[in-house]
Structure 1
Amino acid sequence: MTAYTQAFQALTGKRALTPAEATRLLAAVLDEHAGELADVIRTEAKRLNAPQEKDTPAIDRRKRRRHRGMQTAASLIDPAHKRAQLPHQRDRSTS
């Protein structure tokens, strides 16, 4: 039985799920479908952010930035990159 089927049956059953059971089921669904989701995000990133002839340099920069963000999201979801880290953010001291 697939993780999605187990989750659906648990959600439509008469007994309420405990938070631990719900977490386990959702993690199983994510493990099962994460690769597909990451592939769809990458495909949509290419489609949505493809350069057009009429794009100004500012629009082109925004599209490249959005494309990088979508690629980062896909790499965080992808099971092959489960331990992927967010890009390092500089800590700015106020002192």
Structure 2
Amino acid sequence: MSAYSRAYQGLTSDRPLGPGEAAQLLAELRQETGTELADAIEKQLSGKYRRTATDTDAEFRRKRRQYGAAMRVVNAVRHLAASPLRTSMPNQRTRSTS
């Protein structure tokens, strides 16, 4: 059962979810959605930056740089989706006395 299905059942069932259970369910949903999004983007990028017969070396280097930048974004999405849910905000470090 997918995280979306479990979230839907949790929201529509007669029994309310506890805060911890809801947070875990949302984290699973975020991870599943992020992974699916990253996989779809990677699939779209797979053929877009291939070398063609008309490409010069400079054009192909530009394509490789663009592909590398796009894959760094895809990997960042995967990393953010897999990271645990932060339950508290970090302390703000200010020198304000008020």
Q: TM-score, normalised by structure 2?
A: 0.50
Structure 1 vs Structure 2 CA RMSD = 3.2
Larger gyration radius, structure 1 or structure 2: 2
Number of residue pairs aligned between Structure 1 and Structure 2: 66
Q: Distance in 1 between matches of 2:51 and 2:77?
A: 25
Q: Structure 1 residues 81, 27: CA separation in 2 closer, same or farther (over 3 Å shift)?
A: closer
- Checking the alignment, whether the CA contact within 8 Å between 1:41 and 1:74 is kept in structure 2 is yes
Which deviations, in whole Å up to 9, do the C-alpha atoms of 1:1-54 show, x marking residues without a partner? 728x76xx9xxxxxxxxxxxxxx8x87653231111111222222211011111
Counterparts of 1:55 and 1:30 in 2: how far apart (Å)?
40
* 8 A Cα contact 1:31 1:79, kept in partner: no
Q: Which structure has more RCO (C-alpha within 8 Å, separation ≥ 6)? A: 2
The SS at the match of 1:49 is: coil
| Aligned partners of 1:34 and 1:77 also within 8 Å | yes
Q: Which runs of 4+ in 1 moved over 6 A?
A: none
- The share of aligned pairs that are identical, in percent, is 25
> Which residues of structure 1 form unaligned runs of 5+?
10-23, 84-95
